[in-house]
């Protein structure tokens, strides 16, 4: 099935995806915790159906377009976990009136704009910066948090849902202990806020969840809600962080081999930055843009030996190999590349992907 490929194609292994869902679902204490997976990683209705099999009905997305796409296809409880854009309001009224919609704010001006224009019920999460310093209000800025929570409570259309944080800095951790430290530090900050505001807002929750934390922490029952997304596919970055086994990675980019350089033991593939992104890893001092795998019988296998993407340009990938692997690959073959960051690869390849093991 991978023969005579004209251009790169993303392969998604459905069996592995389902196993990844099953494993994550089994870690969550459903008696007290909501699992609201992030759908930005796969953006696929077929994979959405897999989640439904495990009782998932609430989802997270990262854009208005994604929210409309999933709402149009039957998902009716959606959190847009990206700082609210005030230009969204008209579209929300047009397309998302019938669903249970939550949005995320971190700015008083934005809240005032929502209050001015909102004509439907909207749940509001306040984004808290627990240390990634990308977005969010500092957890000890109670003056601003008091102002914002008061204004939410004074509007009939808005409901204050709680505090939401994303610890993206777990991606820079060297080991499980560092991930745990970030997790428990974030937990302490959000629990303190919940305790402070629970008297005025009885139903507020604390929402958290990046894939490294959700994969590496033993039982997921500390926060009220978890939103990991990448775990559906995993990738080389997660593998090196220890979040998954290599066999759990559920995506590979199938790439045609177009040229070989015997003297350098390098192979040129059609598969570059526009397919994989420019994200790289340094493993033992060597920069890598993806791990090569052999494609066989509707699956893939990691070879023994050297076979990694050493550089990328827009459409080209340069595969570094040892002699043995070099000799096993011919021009016209199709090889697989396990991406460094599957969210970016899946997004770039969203119009060109195949689901294996359906």
Ligand X SMILES: Cc1ncc(COP(=O)(O)O)c(C=O)c1O
Q: Which residues bind ligand X (CB under 6 A)?
A: 38, 60, 81, 166, 209-211, 227-230, 343
Nearer to ligand X, 104 or 318 (CB): 104
Which is nearest to 227 in space by CA: 90, 12, 70, 78? 78
Instruction: Give the C-alpha separation, 205 to 224, whole Å.
Output: 6
Scanning the structure block, which residue is given the tokens 């004074």? 154
Length of the chain: 358
- Whether residue 253 contacts residue 337, with contact meaning beta carbons closer than 8 Å, is answered with yes
Report, in Å, the least distance between residue 166 CB and ligand X: 4
CB of 243 to ligand X, least distance (A): 9
Q: How far is the CB of 60 from ligand X (least distance, A)?
A: 6
Question: Which of 149, 230 has the CB closer to ligand X?
Answer: 230
The nearest distance, CB 344 to ligand X, in angstroms, is 10
The C-alpha atoms of residue 261 and residue 342 are separated, in whole angstroms, by 28
- Kindly list the strands in the beta sheet with 122-127, ordered across the sheet, starting from the edge strand earlier in the chain: 34-35, 225-226, 205-208, 158-164, 122-127, 100-105, 77-83, 59-61
Q: Classify residue 331 by its DSSP letter.
A: T
* 217 alpha carbon, distance to own chain's centre: 17
Is the CB of 238 or the CB of 321 nearer to ligand X?
238
Q: In the complex, what is the shortest distance from the CB of residue 70 to ligand X, in angstroms, rounded to a whole number?
A: 15
C-beta of residue 196 within 8 angstroms of C-beta of residue 159: no
CB 358 within 8 A of CB 14: yes
For the bound state, the minimum distance from the C-beta of residue 223 to ligand X, rounded and expressed in Å, comes to 12
Q: What's the sign of the alpha-carbon dihedral 66, 71, 74, 77?
A: positive
Alpha carbons 68 and 192: distance in angstroms, whole number: 34
CB closer to ligand X, 12 vs 319: 12
Nearer to ligand X, 24 or 152 (CB): 24
Q: Measured from the CB atom, is 279 or 319 closer to ligand X?
A: 279
DSSP state of 121: -
Minimal distance, residue 323 CB to ligand X, in Å: 38
Buried b (16+ CB within 10 A) or exposed e, 189-209: bbeebbeebeeebeebbbbbb
Residue 223 or 308 with smaller CB distance to ligand X = 223
**Residue 302 DSSP label:** P
Residue closer to ligand X by CB (options 54, 266) is: 54
Distance linking the first and last C-alpha atoms of the chain? 14
Place of tokens 């997304």: 229
- CB nearer ligand X, residue 166 or residue 310: 166
Smallest separation, CB 206 to ligand X (Å) = 13
Output the smallest distance, CB 238 to ligand X, in A.
8
Q: Report yes or no: 316 and 259 within 8 Å, Cβ to Cβ.
A: no
């Amino acid at each position: 099935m991978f023969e005579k490929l004209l251009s790169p194609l993303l392969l998604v292994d459905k069996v592995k995806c389902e196993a990844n869902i099953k494993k994550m679902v089994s870690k969550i204490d459903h008696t007290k915790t909501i699992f609201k997976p992030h759908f930005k990683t796969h953006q696929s209705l077929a994979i959405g159906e897999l989640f439904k099999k495990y009782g998932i009905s609430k989802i997270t997305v990262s854009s208005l377009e994604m929210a409309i796409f999933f709402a149009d296809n039957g998902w009716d409880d959606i959190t847009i976990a990206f700082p609210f854009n005030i230009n969204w309001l008209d579209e929300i009224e047009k397309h998302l009136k019938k669903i249970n919609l939550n949005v995320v704010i971190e700015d008083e001006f934005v809240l005032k704009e929502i209050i001015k224009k909102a004509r439907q019920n909207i749940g509001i999460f306040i984004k808290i910066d627990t240390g990634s310093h990308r977005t969010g209000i500092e957890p000890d800025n109670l003056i601003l948090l008091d102002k914002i929570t008061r204004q939410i409570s004074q509007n009939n259309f808005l409901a204050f849902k709680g505090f939401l944080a994303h610890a993206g800095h777990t991606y820079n951790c060297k080991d499980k202990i560092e991930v745990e430290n970030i997790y428990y530090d974030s937990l302490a900050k959000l629990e303190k806020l919940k305790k402070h505001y629970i008297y005025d807002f009885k139903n507020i929750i604390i929402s958290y969840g990046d894939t490294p934390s959700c994969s590496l922490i033993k039982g997921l029952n500390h926060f009220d809600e978890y939103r990991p997304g990448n775990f559906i596919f995993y990738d080389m970055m997660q593998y090196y962080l220890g979040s998954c086994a290599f066999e759990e990675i559920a995506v590979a980019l199938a790439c045609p081999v177009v040229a070989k350089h015997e003297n350098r033991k390098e192979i040129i593939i059609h598969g570059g930055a526009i397919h994989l992104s420019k994200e790289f890893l340094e493993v033992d001092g060597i920069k890598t843009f993806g791990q090569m795998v052999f494609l066989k019988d509707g699956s893939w296998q990691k070879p023994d030996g050297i076979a990694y993407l050493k550089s990328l340009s827009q459409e080209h990938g340069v595969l570094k190999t040892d002699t043995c692997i070099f000799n096993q690959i011919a021009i016209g073959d199709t090889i697989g590349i396990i991406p460094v960051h599957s969210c970016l690869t899946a997004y770039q390849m969203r119009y060109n992907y195949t689901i294996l093991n359906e």
